[in-house]
Structure 1
Amino acid sequence: MSPKLDPIDRRILDELVADARLPIAELARRVGLSKTPVAARIRQMEEIGLITGYRAMISPIKLGLTHVTYVELRLSDTREAALKAFNTAVRAIPEVEECYMIAGGFDYLVKIRARDMADYRRIMAEELSALPHVHSSSSYVAMEAVVEHSVLPIE
């Protein structure tokens, strides 16, 4: 169930998404309220789980992680125990940026961020192929990021 957000809640979220380090006093000035009700609204959005945390956004490019590959993985076993074993193991691979269970012609779609093709090849051979119940894979190398949103539209 989606929480009911009024226009001020949406403005607060927009401002926090743009700069999560914005002082409450400045945030309050921008949304036209005093500090106390703004802080209460933020606390309420945190309590209901709408705001799940605050973090620094780090550029993978500046870290030299310029190689992005999407990997389709097919499992040999898709019973619950096998899925749980796979899920636990894939979470332990630091180069896995995203992993989704898919309804379709394969079981998981994994986004890998690596330094280069040689680094990806190592990750594929030593990490992904060794995951529990992996039967086969197909890799798709990204040539360019055309749209990359890390922010959801607030409507």
Structure 2
Amino acid sequence: MNFVVDSGDIIAGIALFFSIYATFKTIKFNNRQQKLILTQEKLNQLLLEKETTVIEFEKQAELGASFLKLGSNKYRLKIWNKGKALAQNVSIEFPEGNEVISEHEINEKFPLQFLDVHQAVELIAFVGLSTKSKHLVKLEWSDGRMQRVEKLIWVTI
């Protein structure tokens, strides 16, 4: 048996080689494409989580407190909202005792129905020589979160 190779066999062999090469490149390209799709899905998930966090942050009020000195013997306890949302049903307590703010002043202004963004309320403080310089203030409020928010703040004179 004689095995004869003519030009058609050579062309068919070259075509087979290019077909195998093209198949290999297509498989390699598809693998890269799958990796790119997975990376895009992870990126989209991270962006979605970030946006969700921003939306949740937009629903939150953030209250703070500090003493202000207005003159030689005049002090005020200032409660403010520096958050991005309205604080509702704001209440104030002094867990370690209250010796600087009169109960009448507290009962007159609190519970505060609303404390809007960048709004503040001031309470008249009575400071003497025997007054402690550090006081614990407990603020509670409702905002866009599911539960009522509680914050303990040490304020100093």
TM norm structure 1? 0.27
Greater radius of gyration (CA): 2
Higher RCO by CA contacts (8 Å cutoff, separation 6 or greater): 1
Decide which structure has greater strand share. Answer: 2
TM-score under structure 2 normalisation? 0.27
